[in-house]
Amino acid sequence: METITDQDMVKVKALQKMKRSALALLGVAVLLFIVAIYFKIPMLQAFSEAAMVGGIADWFAVVALFRHPMGIPIWHTAIIPTKKNEIGENLGNFVSEEFLNREKLEIKLDEFNFANKASEWLSEGQNAAKVANVVAVNIIPGILKAIKDEDIKRFIQVQFKEKLEGVNFGNWVAVALEPLQKGDLKNQMLTNLLEVMSSELTNNKDLIRQKVKSSTPFLSFGLADKSITEGVFNGLQDFLNEAKNPESAVRLKIDEYIFDFLEKVKNSEEMRIKINDMILGFVGKKEVQDYINGIWDEIKLSITMDLEKGDQSAIKNSIAGLVQTFGNGLKEDPIMFEKINSFIKNDLLSILLNNKKVIGDLISSTVKSWDGKEVSEKLELEIGKDLQYIRINGTLVGGFIGLVIYGVEQLYHYFIV
């Protein structure tokens, strides 16, 4: 398993304490049974017998969820490790069908009003400075590094149209856009989407319980459904919280999908033709080529020198001013508000809905890749403490049911026999 943290140690101690409590109660029932037999106390015997049966039966049911009781491979035990793949498929299907639902996502995105929040955020001076800093520190230098001077100069000096058409300038566009993957706006959009999914998860907790119940065998008698649901629910919440972390494996996988999208742009024949036609219109003459060579060198040098000034950078301050102006202007432009929200809703929904199966498969494959034993141990650590109450309740309820049965039997003998 993973390295045990201090928080995990607290959970381990709490779980062990509850196990000892449940076992101690069962021990009390055994002791009462011995006393009842020795002193011939029928009522106490009835109570203790039923308490032992209830406690042992519920112990079996709880243990069967996570492992084979006493290491014996009894049918329909070790449910979680053996049913891991089925649970993963159900969760993947559930997320793709219930979370990535057009009607629900449209309602949530409409309620969120991205354009309004973006305008409020961008109009703040310190936030505009953050955006400018990201552009000045990450995006612009990234673009300058991605574009090689030798390639550009070689390209602008090419005289023949055949050579120009052989260069896929769509690749340059994709490379120029690639640093945008690191922007705050993209991360904020993904985080907002994950918040929507987290909210939908909470609203569909009963549906999760039904999905879990359909994957558990009849031996549990429905006693553990609620506790398992809490474990699965917390696991999904942990999954979404992990995805909110830009450095997590899940977030990196999402970035990989964005990268694949850029690859499609880079390899688009239609896009290549448009870019090539545009360039051919400007670089057909030698004079233009020489002029562009000189301008590129000057521009690159000026940009580099300006960005080295840090907070005094004219480019950075200009970007901050433009961002803040855009934010303020956006507040007073309802038409732009509508266009931005419509773009976010329609295009983002289109991407998500077109890839809902891929997202569901990603969740399913992620769960399947987990080690069954580790998943079982992790879930037991999360929900095992609560499940011990089933053992305790089983012992007590069994005992009281034993008393009820004993009382009914005595009444029967008294009034009828």
Query: What is the count of structural domains for the chain?
Result: 2
Q: Are residues 92 and 27 in the same domain?
A: no
Q: Distance between CA 214 and CA 83 in Å, rounded?
A: 11
Contact 142, 179 (CB under 8 A): yes
pLDDT at 264 over 60: yes
The C-alpha R_g of the chain, in whole angstroms, comes to 33
Q: How far is CA 9 from the centre of its chain?
A: 25
Contact 386, 143 (CB under 8 A): no
105-109, 129-133, 142-146, 304-308: segment of lowest average pLDDT: 105-109
Q: Are residues 69 and 85 in the same domain?
A: no
Mean pLDDT of the chain: 76
Q: Are residues 324 and 228 in the same domain?
A: yes
Q: Would you say the pTM of this structure is higher than 0.85?
A: no
Structure confidence at residue 1 (pLDDT): 43
Instruction: Encode pLDDT of 199-239 as tens digits.
Output: 777 777 777 677 666 666 554 555 556 666 677 777 777 77
pLDDT band at residue 25 using 50, 70 and 90 as cut-offs: very high
Q: Are residues 184 and 271 in the same domain?
A: yes
Give the range of the structural domain holding residue 329, as residue numbers without chain letter.
Answer: 78-370
Q: Are residues 309 and 381 in the same domain?
A: no
Mean pLDDT of 87-116: 73
Contact 127, 118 (CB under 8 A): no
Structure confidence at residue 45 (pLDDT): 92
Which of the listed residues 370, 391, 409 is the one where a domain comes to its end?
Answer: 370
Structure confidence at residue 46 (pLDDT): 92
Closest Cα to residue 280, out of 133, 136, 124, 162? 162
Q: Are residues 259 and 126 in the same domain?
A: yes
Residues constituting the chain: 417
Structure confidence at residue 41 (pLDDT): 92
Q: Are residues 102 and 148 in the same domain?
A: yes
Q: Distance between CA 149 and CA 152 in Å, rounded?
A: 5
Q: Distance between CA 350 and CA 185 in Å, rounded?
A: 19
SS3 4: coil
Instruction: Encode pLDDT of 13-23 as tens digits.
Output: 888 999 999 99
Q: Distance between CA 224 and CA 220 in Å, rounded?
A: 6
- Which residue bears the tokens 């507040």? 331
Q: Are residues 59 and 168 in the same domain?
A: no
Q: Distance between CA 292 and CA 57 in Å, rounded?
A: 83
Q: Are residues 302 and 407 in the same domain?
A: no
Percent of the residues in the chain that have a pLDDT greater than 70, as a whole number = 73
DSSP state of 135: I
Q: What angle do CA 185, 191, 197 make, to 5 degrees?
A: 145
Q: Distance between CA 345 and CA 110 in Å, rounded?
A: 8
Q: Are residues 341 and 380 in the same domain?
A: no
Q: Which two tokens stand for residue 144?
A: 């300058």
Neighbours of 391 (CB within 10 A): 27
Contact 78, 66 (CB under 8 A): yes
Q: Distance between CA 307 and CA 140 in Å, rounded?
A: 9
Q: Are residues 3 and 115 in the same domain?
A: no
Q: Distance between CA 377 and CA 370 in Å, rounded?
A: 12
pLDDT band at residue 285 using 50, 70 and 90 as cut-offs: low
Q: Are residues 42 and 156 in the same domain?
A: no
